[in-house]
């Protein structure tokens, strides 16, 4: 395979010029991007072939001057440039010298479509907007009640002050939890999630979560422990397992109707795994949307939430070697099953 065939096989467009600024190679993709015939481009000046401009109308060669740089410069970082048709591309180059202080003998330029960066920028903008919205709501409550306490302290009775302070405490807890969720998302995304797994009593952890959520809602929550479930041990970071169960139960309370059922037992298909099932009687999750449920900031319905709960459930469960599936509950609603290993993975 010669240099031209190798360049054509790359996912990015490639243009290479020699030490005199004469083009020696134009890949097929680069030719299509620049509107230049790859064969006809060879032998022409780099500035004539690399027809890129910035918003100020300057060409790539004029702005970067690859042949007149300092001896220590070995290339240019990724930059956004415009093709002749106005399409944005991301351009990076390498500048080669035989040795430090020698003249440049080769300049290689790589061109990549800017669509991926635009999509990433759009996703980041959506992330910022969603986080700002979720943070603003509890912050507004905290600020409003604190201001009322400061301005009207002498005119409020003890019961009114206590109610306001409870609300401030509740909103502060909500803020702390949202920040913790965002940190967990970042750790899951970057592979930096720290786990401290050990043998843990699954029934005790699930029972604590159910009792905690019960105390904060009027929705009835039923706990069904299979025979022998009180003796089941799982291999888990207890804090992370508690977080998984909490997110599932609170999600069912928020989006379901009627009774929420939480059950725990041995998984019928695998005696080495515990099966946690959370069912609600809401509208359920359509089959075509069930994979999207575990993506960041996915929301279904209009009952609030950060859209991070199930993403974290999926990430934490997979990190422990488990799996999460969604099905239909009997009588309507969603049924979420979490299969969690009892034993540590084989070395």
pTM for this entry: 0.60
Residue 33 placed within a domain: yes
Instruction: Single out the residue in 171, 190, 209 at which a domain terminates.
Output: 190
DSSP string, 107-132: EEEEEEESHHHHHHHHHHHHHHHHHH
Asked, for residue 272, whether it belongs to a domain, the answer is yes
pLDDT tens sequence for the chain (347 residues): 678 888 888 889 999 999 999 999 999 999 999 999 999 999 999 999 999 988 778 899 889 999 998 888 889 988 888 888 888 889 999 999 998 888 999 999 999 987 766 666 676 676 677 677 778 878 888 999 999 999 999 999 999 999 999 889 888 887 887 888 788 888 887 778 888 999 999 999 999 999 989 988 888 999 999 998 888 999 999 999 999 999 999 888 887 778 899 999 999 989 899 999 999 887 777 777 777 777 776 665 545 556 777 888 999 999 999 999 988 888 778 899 999 999 987 65
Indicate if 23 and 105 belong to the same structural domain.
yes
Instruction: Identify whether 347 is part of a domain.
Output: no
Q: In whole angstroms, how far apart are CA 124 and each of 6, 128, 182, 296?
A: 35, 6, 14, 12
What is the C-alpha separation between 26 and 9, in angstroms, rounded? 12
Kindly give the interhelix angle for 238-255 and 202-214, rounded to the nearest 10 degrees: 40
pLDDT for position 16? 95
102/133 same-domain check = no
pLDDT at 221: 93
What's the pLDDT score for residue 274? 95
Strand segments, DSSP code E, in the chain are 13-18, 23-26, 75-82, 88-96, 106-113, 198-201, 221-225, 233-236, 260-266, 273-279, 323-328, 334-341
The range of the structural domain enclosing residue 275 comes to 198-341
Instruction: Give the span between the Cα atoms of 345 and 320, in whole angstroms.
Output: 9
Count of the separate structural domains present in the chain: 3
Identify whether residues 212 and 337 lie together within a single domain. Answer: yes
State whether 206 and 184 are in the same domain. Answer: no
pLDDT in the model for residue 248? 92
Name the domain boundary from 80, 113, 146.
113
61-99 pLDDT tens trace: 889 999 998 888 889 988 888 888 888 889 999 999 998
Distance CA 34, CA 91 (A): 12
Domain presence at residue 346: no
One domain for residues 260 and 323: yes
Is residue 98 located within the same domain as residue 155?
A: no
Q: Same domain for 299 and 319?
A: yes
Sequence-distant (≥ 6) Cβ neighbours of residue 319 within 8 angstroms = 188, 193, 195, 240
CATH code of the domain covering residue 22? 3.30.450.20
Give the separation between CA 112 and CA 110, rounded to whole angstroms.
7
């Amino acid at each position: 395979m010669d240099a031209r065939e190798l360049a054509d096989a790359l996912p990015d467009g490639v243009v290479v010029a020699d030490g005199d600024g004469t083009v020696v190679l134009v890949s097929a993709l680069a030719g299509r991007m620049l509107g230049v015939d790859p064969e006809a481009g060879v032998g022409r000046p780099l500035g004539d072939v690399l027809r890129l401009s910035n918003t100020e109308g300057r060409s790539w060669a004029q702005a970067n001057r690859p042949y007149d740089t300092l001896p220590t410069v070995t290339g240019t970082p990724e930059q956004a440039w415009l093709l002749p048709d106005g399409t944005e591309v991301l351009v990076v180059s390498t500048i080669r010298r035989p040795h430090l202080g020698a003249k440049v003998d080769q300049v290689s330029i790589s061109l990549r479509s800017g669509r991926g960066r635009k999509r990433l920028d759009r996703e980041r903008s959506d992330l910022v907007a969603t986080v700002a919205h979720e943070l603003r709501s509890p912050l507004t409550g905290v600020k409003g009640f604190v201001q009322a306490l400061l301005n009207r302290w002498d005119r409020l009775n003890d019961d009114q002050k206590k109610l306001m302070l409870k609300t401030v405490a509740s909103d502060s807890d909500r803020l702390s939890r949202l920040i913790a969720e965002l940190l967990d998302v970042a750790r899951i995304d970057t592979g930096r999630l720290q786990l401290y797994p050990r043998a843990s009593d699954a029934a005790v952890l699930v029972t604590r979560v159910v009792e905690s959520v019960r105390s904060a809602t009027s929705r009835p929550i039923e706990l069904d422990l299979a025979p022998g479930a009180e003796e089941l041990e799982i291999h888990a970071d207890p804090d992370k397992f508690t977080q998984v169960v909490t997110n599932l139960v609170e999600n069912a309370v928020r989006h379901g109707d009627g009774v929420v059922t939480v059950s725990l037992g041995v998984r019928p298909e695998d005696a080495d795994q515990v099966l946690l099932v959370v069912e609600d009687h809401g509208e359920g999750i359509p089959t075509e949307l069930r994979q999207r449920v575990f993506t960041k900031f996915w929301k279904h319905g209009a009952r609030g939430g950060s859209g991070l709960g199930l993403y974290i459930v999926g990430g934490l469960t997979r990190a422990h070697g488990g799996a999460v599936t969604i099905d239909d509950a009997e009588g309507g609603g969603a049924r979420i099953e979490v299969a969690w290993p009892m034993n540590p993975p084989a070395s």
